[in-house]
Structure 1
Amino acid sequence: MKKIGCLLIHGFGGSVYEVSPLAEYLERKGYGVICPALKGHTGRKEDLRGITYHDWLDSAEMALMELLESHDYIFLIGFSMGGLIAINLASKYNVSGLITINTPIYYWDFKRIYLNIVHDLRNKEYTNIHRYMKSSGNTTLSALFHFKLLLTRTKPIIRNVKCPLFVTQALDDDTVRKQSARYIHERMSGKRKKLRFYDHGGHLILRSSSASKVMEDIWTFINEIE
């Protein structure tokens, strides 16, 4: 029986925490899964200093090499900025499929951020406010600069991706605007591509009430390709 390997790539300033529910789900399905920690993403702001987007690409590529050694089918799954990295790898290697989750082309939905803050204040929950404060304190200006460079580099590469594609996007994501999903889906040149929006889930959709549906859809996509 041929072996399926999945490379899960977390987002900018984040960690494997963002994708671990999906990793555990796919492992239960019998797939080989690797979730590399991108260089500098230790949770400490100072560790991002001097790190470039090339380092992030290298972190993911090294993990891909490990999967390629022992698996017949490889699926690249990128969350947020991890989707940009996955697009770069899919344009370079012959993989079985590419899945992007809330991957940015157009970022920061300021209307949604405002509504989230109002919701927190009215309900005295402060969940979103704490998340925004934590996010702003976990990165550096140089890291933000290299995120932008990675985005700029990736946009023209999308057309080079010819493997099957599944683009997923939460409509209430405050970090990535829904137009990003359409941009990726429309510009990818392969014939087998799928786009799915979810009404709820926010940016950390794999940690939301929509996670089970997203994971099931990803598993279905992999099985259809396999």
Structure 2
Amino acid sequence: MEERALQYPVLKEGEPFCFEGSQVGILVIHGFTGSTQSMRPLGEAYAEKGYTVCGPRLKGHGTHYEDMEQTTYQDWIASVEEGYAWLKERCDTIFVTGLSMGGTLTLYLAEKYPDIKGIIPINAAVDIPNMEEMSNAEEPRFLDAIGSDIKNPGVNELSYERTPLKSVKEILKLMDQVKSGLHRITCPAFIFVSEIDHVVPPLNSQLILEQISSEEKTLQYMADSYHVATLDNDQGMIIEKTLAFVEKQLL
């Protein structure tokens, strides 16, 4: 795709972040129409434990939905591969975690890079029937927002107020590609899924659990969070169990 200039500045709290630490790196990936704000609490918690952390901003995100409309799923892949490369330069061991489409991209990386030590998908998306219905639509150009599905009433996600139809078609392509390659994943996986999710059907996580080839795989249900669980009531549990999972793999 032809490179285009960014039309809008990056929003405050939507910037990418990196923390230098040990030889163990953790890539943290935000979701579709969202921003790095949704993953920063996890990234900071992992950095406090001494890990090297990278939270890339997916191209077209954290600015304006018209920017997102110009990007493709290959652009989003390129954004996370850049973050992965940054960690590879500094770390011997890499883990990857991601929320929603960030979880989809986590799975993509695990399919492509078998040396990844472990993955932590959080409400990852590989099959969203409501979106499939839009695959052949030509209008409207922008759809309603899908962000900020959070049970805690005092918390808001920094996400777009509109969703580009073109971008929906792009995530459908990404999900199809990732879903067809799930069997290639062999690394340990700790899968988080909210019992109630108004964006990604929880059955996605069950499908991922069943189709990946990992010998070590766990499905952890979250009873007190909706889709954006990383900002919701189960945030502390996600951090605690992720750190335990990482430490176990390092033994």
Q: Shorter-normalised TM-score: what interval?
A: 0.7 to 0.9
TM-superposed CA distance for 1:138, in Å, is 2.9
- Identify the residue that residue 167 of structure 1 maps to in structure 2: 191
- Identify the residue that residue 29 of structure 1 maps to in structure 2: 49
What does residue range 38-77 of structure 1 map to in structure 2 within 5 Å?
38-77=58-97
Q: Deviations over 1:92-120 (max 9, x none)?
A: 111100110011234489xxxxxxxxxx9
Contact 2:57 2:79 in 1 (8 A): yes
Query: Is 1:9 aligned with 2:23?
Result: no
What does residue range 1-226 of structure 1 map to in structure 2 within 5 Å?
3-93=23-113, 94-107=115-128, 137-226=161-250
CA–CA distance in structure 1, aligned partners of residues 234 and 69 of structure 2: 35
- Identify the residue that residue 113 of structure 1 maps to in structure 2: none
Count residues in correspondence: 208
Q: What one-letter code is carried by the residue in structure 1 that aligns with 2:111?
A: S
Contact 1:108 1:175 in 2 (8 A): no
Contact 1:104 1:180 in 2 (8 A): yes
Q: What one-letter code is carried by the residue in structure 2 that aligns with 1:218?
A: T
CA–CA distance in structure 2, aligned partners of residues 33 and 126 of structure 1: 29
Look up the SS of the partner of 2:109 in the other structure.
helix
Contact 1:81 1:104 in 2 (8 A): yes
Look up the SS of the partner of 2:59 in the other structure.
coil
TM-superposed CA distance for 1:139, in Å, is 2.3
Q: What one-letter code is carried by the residue in structure 2 that aligns with 1:172?
A: I
- TM-score normalised over the length of structure 1: 0.86
Q: What one-letter code is carried by the residue in structure 2 that aligns with 1:46?
A: E
Q: What one-letter code is carried by the residue in structure 1 that aligns with 2:188?
A: P
CA–CA distance in structure 2, aligned partners of residues 12 and 214 of structure 1: 20
Q: What one-letter code is carried by the residue in structure 1 that aligns with 2:61?
A: H
Question: For structure 1, which runs of at least 5 residues remain unmatched after alignment?
Answer: 110-119
Q: What one-letter code is carried by the residue in structure 1 that aligns with 2:48?
A: R
RMSD: 2.4
- Identify the residue that residue 115 of structure 1 maps to in structure 2: none
Contact 1:90 1:98 in 2 (8 A): yes
Tell me which stretches of 4 or more aligned residues in structure 1 moved more than 6 Å: 125-128
Contact 2:102 2:124 in 1 (8 A): yes
- TM-score normalised over the length of structure 2: 0.77
Q: Deviations over 1:61-113 (max 9, x none)?
A: 0110110111111001011001111111111111100110011234489xxxx
CA–CA distance in structure 2, aligned partners of residues 108 and 172 of structure 1: 16
